[in-house]
Structures are given as structure tokens and as C-alpha cells.
Structure 1
């Protein structure tokens, strides 16, 4: 079977839980061929992979959203678009439920426009923005609204106008633009469509937009509604929707995904891989590990603030931030400046490392994300018998505290952004070796019972076979 995996901004350009999940899925299923269809914001990343592609990857299709900068168009043309096409684009931007995706695809892929800029520089597009301005009814400069809508719709047009490789099954690993590519694939080729939602993409974009300086306050609602509209398209079109834990399923149902489509398949790790790792050195140092990319959504700044408090109470504590730092360079520099301004001495940014060479030497791990799905970093720590301090995001609470009141804790859950509570939890574990060992044992037993890689792979193998027949 040929399976097309559709990803956005992750594999094979950056490391992380979703990328590792994709690599594992392909590696463990050599009986299938895989096509990677990846949507990437920056053409400079094209061909710069951080993963060695498995031999059963037969094609990589890279869609660069900034490709439009090389296009040329003539301002002010009139294409005389049918009223239903104009209505459809207004519905897309305004979040109207009358949106017809089939009509949208047919319009944007038609020969009417030579390229993306042709449409965005047309009088027809100007008419659309004027209609939306009437609906928004904000006393805002028309020019600001025009360029805001331009920024919203441009990546969608670039994505929709690209050709999709033919496959027996299309599998999206998020909603958003990747999800739209999947809906388009089903429209063009009539093959089954599967969605695995690790985190809730539209919720993550909402959090980013609320905090973003680049989106003016009046336009935040417009952006947020737009991303929910994109998600609703694949919820409607997908044959099956896979999520990782029960709370995500509840959110998807709240957002309009039919409950009967959704099934839960947790992530998994090979517990045996963590059995013989290097042990914690008996040298009096308390080592805290963070298996995490240095990006804003992981909230490394809160982690730094927390450790600054830990270091004052536990002078022999060390924090190792183990993950790539080149994805958001400005944010990484801000983190370094924060370390310096707080006068923290014992923080090491290791860059990307082989986790198995480090995690065994840690006394505990920490995760301070503001959004997660089911983080592989937590599963890896539990598989190695390490207690975890994590924020209450995604499935972290379920992983660390279990599903029932009788389950023994495998770590401590803290509020998002609350660096004092996180520091308090870390200090508690630093001072209590017996507690660390008890929580580590509980985590190991939970992973061994409920989160095995072999089970996760078998369930997807069966799912592929049932859909791809």
C-alpha cells in the first residue's frame, strides 16, 4: 500500500514528538510505501532534513508557502467570477457555515488565475474584502483589513494550487493547512482520508494569536475563527479521526467532529530501549533534564525562572535543556539573555542530543509547555523510571497521575506559566530521593502497561489495512 503522510512545519525539518512519531510509524511498517507531503513556511528549509528517511519513503513533496514571492501579477484585473465563488471566499474568511470546499478547490485550482498573485491583486478580491469589511463592522483602516485577509488566505491558496501525489490512503498528522491538503486529496483522488490529531491545532493557533504582537487586537477573532474553519473541513471529510487521549476527543466533539469517527490510540515507547541506559552518577549533584525544543510554545522562559528559584534552594542542582535551539532563533537568544539577567549558573543548553545518552543520568525531568498533545518526552522519562514535573496541558495529568484515584503518581502536575509552583515541585523532588524513586517506579509500570510502541504500531497497521482495502 502507498500511504501519503501530510505534515505541516514538522517532519523532516525539525525534531520533536510529532516528527519522531512519523519516523517511527514509517520505520516500523516496512511493508508499506510512504510519500511525505510536507508544508513548510520557508523555502530556505527545502531539502534540509534532520532525519534520515527510511528506505520505504518513495517520494517527498515539499510545499513552500513563501513560493508566491517569485510570482508576478498585474493589479486591478477583473475576472468576472461567479457570485457563488465570491460568496464562498467571503464564507471562508468570515467563518460562515455555508462554505463549500469543493467549490473553493475548483475555483482556486482553475485556469482562471495564472498564479496566486493574479487573484490577490484582482478587483474581484478587492470586492471580497469590501464585503468582509461590512460584516466585520469595525472602525478600522481598510488597508489593515486588506493585508490581514491577504495573510490569512495566501498560504491556503498556495497549498490548494499544489499537486498532490497519488496514493492509496492519505494520512494527515494535524488539521490546519495540512488538513486542507488532505481534504483536497480526497476530493481529487477519492481515496480514504485519516487524521491523527496530536494536539488540538486550532486551539494552539488560538493561544498563539491571543498572545501575538503581529496580530492587531481587532483582527484576533477573525484569525481564530479562520483556523477553526480549516479544522472543521477535515473533521467533516475524514473517514476516521485518531486522537491520543480522552480529553482531546471531548474537545474535538465540542468543535463539531462527529463522535463516531473518533478513536483513541495512545503513543507508545519501546520500554526495553530504556532498560540499560547510563545510571545517575553518585556525585552529589541533582540533575534535572528537559527533553524539549527551545521554542515559545514549550515556554522555556518559565522553566528558566523556575530553575532560578531551585538553584537558590538547591545549589547542587543542574538543569539540562536537551533539544534543538535553531527553530526560533530570536526566542533562543531571549532565553540566553534571561539566564544572564537572572544570574543563573547551572543551566546547560545542550542542543540536539541522543536522548538515550542523557536521560539515564537525570534524577528527574521537567516540561513547562503551554500546549501539548501526549508528549513523547514524558513517556521516555517514565520508561526510564524518572519522575516528571509537568504543566497541566494535553495528557500530562493523565500520564503522571493515572486515570483513577487509586493510581500512584509518576510526577507532579503544575499550573501553566506558574514558575513558583513548578520550582516548588522540583525542590520537593530534589530533597526527597525516596519520593523520586517511588514516582519513577509508578511511571515505569504505567508505561509498560498502557503505552507500548508495539501496541501503537499494531493498531495503526490494522487501521491502514481496514481503510486501504
Structure 2
């Protein structure tokens, strides 16, 4: 089977957890052939280089989403992949007929995105999710807006496929004027109606980034048209090539989301601050795009039920959503997990990336109460700050707070993995008898699973997928509650037998649910399931061949009659590559 793997900001670049997951998937399913279509989100990713790819990766095609606005506007000469994108059609100008087509399609897309803001309660609530009457909840108005979005999106895609020129058109004065008219139209929310020209320019720039995959040269018979299945490893921009492959060639689409793009937008605080109108427009854009991706996907897999609830809230059909936990390598934690050592019996360990969402300040206040109950207790904070000045500033504030709360030098230690005390990740979890997670926002808690692989008892805050991951093998307390966090930590520090029982149960649960093996088995079955449902087109047999071709005709071809299509699914004639060219007796 030939899989088109669509990635966004991870594989094959040598950074990030998503890169590790994709690499394990490709290497673990060596019986399949992979074509890699990768979008990069930063210059640092491309500068880091690519990982050494296994032989089952037949080809790699990459394109940037991170390029500076000045490059896209033509103020500086573009280089590298961007130059190929722009000279391939991004920078050319449209003729009169093409401009009319662009204006019509872009007006549909802009009207649907702006109309989605019409249900904002109070006109400023952009983080509460779909409100009553919102397009994500159904209704005649929302259905019309959905139709206008899909009509505009695919109209722009076909225009880019035929004539190129889309990036330049999206940054043009015509696009800004259409956006302004859509924002001022009756029925939009007060937040969107207050958008200034600066806001519209900022939104147009981000819209260009999100829609840039429409202008790529991947939509060819020897590109995405040649694969049997598109597997998008993220939503949003990464899934756009899969949408077009289905529309142009009938390729089935599988979408895997470990982090829902709409949720990530609501929680994001990185980069330059954006105004309320821009934030509202971006939220509506991501929700519209997510709804269309979920509608077209043959199957949607998610890493936890917390993310699944977000997907269903954005319009995903529950019958086509399946939970597949991320596969993680347990081998590097095997020696620690199988040992009988209890780590530092009076030590709490925190492991992760130091940033405000981890609420280390709350953890330090909780540990102050732990020291009152257990004066000999210690806290080891092991991790590096998040990239950028904000991460370094937060680490400095935490160090200052620790110095104020604990004048004793040995009460709290800040360490990084790779130092003399913690040479590797497994040693970080071996540093304490209890591992603590103090986050106020979390998706899938990777550090918690790693602690479970190590056989450690855990105390965690009830955020994200924590309860789903723990499943009764650790203590869970409300977030932003230092007293509850302290009480749970003291309870485990004083009861070594309970720590041992919880640690053993946590390791057994992690090995059963979160190993690489279970993840690979799940996706191998999903690939076979989806390709078995793909329509097959009869073709004449080849003129010559070297002998019998195994599986030249799938067994379904010998069954009389027609296979029924699932409700709402368009019938698209398509021949998977493994079906060959058919045979004379088909």
C-alpha cells in the first residue's frame, strides 16, 4: 500500500515529539510504502536538517509555511522552497477573468468566516467555543455559511491549480476590500465589525499562510494522485493537501490529531499579540476548516477523548472518530520500571518544559505546605525553559520565588537533563519517589506517561487528558489548588507501600495502552480497513507482464453487484496501486 503522509512542523525535521511519532510509524510499518509531504513552520526546523529516512520512504516533498511577510510581498528576493512556490505561480498576477473568479470565490470564503462571528455573546467572547446558534451547532444559517466556505475554498484551490497566483492575490488590495465588506455586512458580530485596516492586513497575512498549501505543486498524477491513502498527521493546513487529493483524485483521507487546532488557537500565547477582531476571525477560520476536514475524512483518529470532545464539538461525526493513543518508546525506561527501587523516598520530582502553563509557582507554594508536614522533603524541578525570552523570564521568576519561600539551599533544586546529576531522561524520574504534574492546561501529558513507564506513583492536576491517562493509578487534584496538591503529595510520601502499588499499576497500564506496539497495530488495521472500502475502477489488463501478479485483482472484484456506499459518501472511481491494472477474468 502506498501512503501519502502529510506532516506539519515535525517529520522529517529533527525536532519535536510529532517528528518522533511519525518516525516510529514509518519505521514500524515497513510493509507499506510512504511518500512524505511535509510543511515546515520555522527556519530553525529546516536548519536543523532532516532525520535519516528509512528505505520505505519513496520520496520527500517539502514546502514552507514560516516565511517572512516581506518575502511573500516581494520586498526581498525569495530563496529556496519559497522561490519555487512563488515562481511556480504564487507571484504572477491574474488576468481579468481570473480576477473575477478569485473575487467571487474569496467573497464566499470571507463571508462564511465573518458570518461565523455573528453569534458571539456580547460581541467579545472569542474563547468560549461555539455558542447557542453558532455554526458549529447546526441550523439553516450555519449550513449556508458552510456551503459558502466549501464553495470558496475549493474554488480557490481550482483557480490555484489551473492558473497559480493565489499567494499574491490573497495579499492584494482586492482581498482586503472583500474582507472589509464581509466584516461590515449585517449579521456579523460586534468584535469583527470593529476590525481596522491593520487588523484586516494581519488576518490576510495569516490567511495566506493557512491557505498556502492550495498553491503547491503536489496535486499531480505522480504526486498525491498516485497514493492509495492520504494520512494527515495534523489538522488545519496539514490536512488541506488531503482535502484536495480527495477532491481531484478520490484519494481516501485519514486525519490524526493529537492536538486540535481550534483548541490550540484558543490557548496560544506565543508570538506577537493580536487584536480581538483578528483573534475572532482566526478562530472562525480554524473552526470552519476543521469542520470541512472532519466532514471529508473517511476516519479521524485522536490521541485522547479530551481532544475527541473538541473534534465532535467542531462537527466531527462520532461514528467516524476513533481514539488511538500515541505510541511511546518504553524501552529506555525498562530498567528503572522493573527495578524495586523507590527513588528518593522523601523527594518530589517534576519533569517537563518550564513555562507558565505548567504552574510551577503553584507547585512551589504547595511544596511550602509539604515542608510544614514533612520537614525533610525535597523538590527537584528538572527541565529546560520554553524557547524564547518568555520561557527564560518565567524560569527566573520561579527561581526567585523558590529563594523567597525556601532559604534552605537543599530544599528545592532546578536541574536540566544532560547534567552530571541527571544525565538522561530516565534518571530524572528516578530522582524522586513521587512524580508531580502541576499544569493548569495540558493536552496529552507525555511526562506523566513516562513516569508511569518508570513505575512511579504520581500526583497530577485534573487538566486535559490526565484522568484518562492515569485511570486510577495515581492521585488527581483540582488545578490551581496548592493545598490539595500538598495534601496528596504528603499522603504518598508517608505511605511507601501505597506508592509501590500505584507505581506497579501505573506501569502495567502504560505498557498496555501507550506503547509503540499498540499504536502500530492500530494504524496497520486502520490502513487496511480504509483501503478495503476504497472504490475500485476496472481497467484493461496490461499488454505484457513478466508472469502472474499476486493480488492483481482484489477479491471484491469477483462479487456480483455493487458495493453500497456509506450514507453521504460520494462515489469516486479509483484504482488503488495495489490493485494493479486488473485482470482478464475480473
Match of 2:379 in 1: 318
CA offsets 1:389-415 (integer angstroms, 9 cap, x no match): 223233210222x2xxxxxx3212233
Q: How does 1:76-155 map to 2 (within 5 A)?
A: 80-82=99-101, 84-91=104-111, 93-94=113-114, 95=116, 96-98=145-147, 99-100=149-150, 101-111=153-163, 113=165, 116-134=167-185, 135-137=188-190, 140=194, 142-155=196-209
CA displacement at 1:343 relative to structure 2: 3.2
**How many angstroms apart in 2 are the aligned matches of 1:7 and 1:414?**
36
* C-alpha contact 2:346 2:432 (8 A) present in aligned 1: no
Paired positions, count:
457
CA offsets 1:166-223 (integer angstroms, 9 cap, x no match): 33322112212212233233334432211112233212212226x9971223443322
Q: How does 1:51-450 map to 2 (within 5 A)?
A: 52-67=52-67, 69-72=70-73, 80-82=99-101, 84-91=104-111, 93-94=113-114, 95=116, 96-98=145-147, 99-100=149-150, 101-111=153-163, 113=165, 116-134=167-185, 135-137=188-190, 140=194, 142-164=196-218, 165-166=223-224, 167-208=227-268, 214-269=273-328, 274-277=333-336, 280=341, 286-290=347-351, 292-295=352-355, 297-299=357-359, 302-303=362-363, 306-307=366-367, 310=370, 316-322=377-383, 325=385, 328-344=387-403, 346-351=412-417, 354-400=424-470, 402=471, 409-450=472-513
**How many angstroms apart in 2 are the aligned matches of 1:63 and 1:307?**
47
Larger mean CA deviation between 133-142 and 180-189 belongs to 133-142
**How many angstroms apart in 2 are the aligned matches of 1:35 and 1:372?**
32
**How many angstroms apart in 2 are the aligned matches of 1:333 and 1:431?**
35
Match of 1:406 in 2: none
Considering only aligned residues, what root-mean-square deviation do their CA atoms show, in Å? 3.5
* C-alpha contact 2:15 2:45 (8 A) present in aligned 1: no
What SS is found at the alignment partner of 2:207?
helix
What SS is found at the alignment partner of 1:215?
coil
**How many angstroms apart in 2 are the aligned matches of 1:462 and 1:175?**
21
Could you state the TM-score of these two structures normalised by the residue count of structure 1? 0.83
* C-alpha contact 2:439 2:479 (8 A) present in aligned 1: yes
**How many angstroms apart in 1 are the aligned matches of 2:175 and 2:6?**
32
**How many angstroms apart in 1 are the aligned matches of 2:346 and 2:159?**
63
What SS is found at the alignment partner of 1:6?
strand
**How many angstroms apart in 2 are the aligned matches of 1:3 and 1:296?**
39
Match of 1:462 in 2: 525
* C-alpha contact 1:40 1:65 (8 A) present in aligned 2: yes
**How many angstroms apart in 2 are the aligned matches of 1:305 and 1:107?**
58
Flag the 1:282–1:179 CA change in 2: closer, same or farther, 3 A. Answer: closer
**How many angstroms apart in 1 are the aligned matches of 2:447 and 2:25?**
17
Q: How does 1:26-37 map to 2 (within 5 A)?
A: 26-37=26-37
**How many angstroms apart in 2 are the aligned matches of 1:307 and 1:204?**
30
**How many angstroms apart in 1 are the aligned matches of 2:211 and 2:392?**
34
What SS is found at the alignment partner of 2:455?
coil
Flag the 1:283–1:123 CA change in 2: closer, same or farther, 3 A. Answer: closer
What SS is found at the alignment partner of 1:61?
strand
Higher Cα Rg: structure 1 or 2?
A: 2
* C-alpha contact 2:73 2:171 (8 A) present in aligned 1: no
CA displacement at 1:241 relative to structure 2: 0.7
What SS is found at the alignment partner of 2:48?
coil
CA offsets 1:235-257 (integer angstroms, 9 cap, x no match): 01111111234444343223211
**How many angstroms apart in 1 are the aligned matches of 2:237 and 2:364?**
33
**How many angstroms apart in 2 are the aligned matches of 1:124 and 1:276?**
59
What SS is found at the alignment partner of 1:455?
helix
**How many angstroms apart in 1 are the aligned matches of 2:55 and 2:494?**
48
**How many angstroms apart in 2 are the aligned matches of 1:381 and 1:189?**
45
* C-alpha contact 1:242 1:262 (8 A) present in aligned 2: yes
**How many angstroms apart in 2 are the aligned matches of 1:414 and 1:65?**
40
Could you state the TM-score of these two structures normalised by the residue count of structure 2? 0.68
What SS is found at the alignment partner of 2:497?
helix
* C-alpha contact 1:314 1:427 (8 A) present in aligned 2: no
**How many angstroms apart in 1 are the aligned matches of 2:519 and 2:282?**
35
What SS is found at the alignment partner of 1:46?
helix
* C-alpha contact 2:455 2:507 (8 A) present in aligned 1: yes
Match of 2:579 in 1: none
CA displacement at 1:81 relative to structure 2: 2.0
What SS is found at the alignment partner of 2:5?
strand
Flag the 1:181–1:284 CA change in 2: closer, same or farther, 3 A. Answer: same
* C-alpha contact 1:43 1:65 (8 A) present in aligned 2: no
Match of 2:9 in 1: 9
CA displacement at 1:431 relative to structure 2: 3.6
CA displacement at 1:371 relative to structure 2: 4.2
**How many angstroms apart in 1 are the aligned matches of 2:429 and 2:455?**
10
CA offsets 1:422-449 (integer angstroms, 9 cap, x no match): 3443343334323321211221232344
Gap regions ≥5 residues in structure 1: 403-408
CA displacement at 1:300 relative to structure 2: 5.2
Higher RCO (Cα < 8 Å, 6 or more apart)? 1
Flag the 1:112–1:179 CA change in 2: closer, same or farther, 3 A. Answer: closer
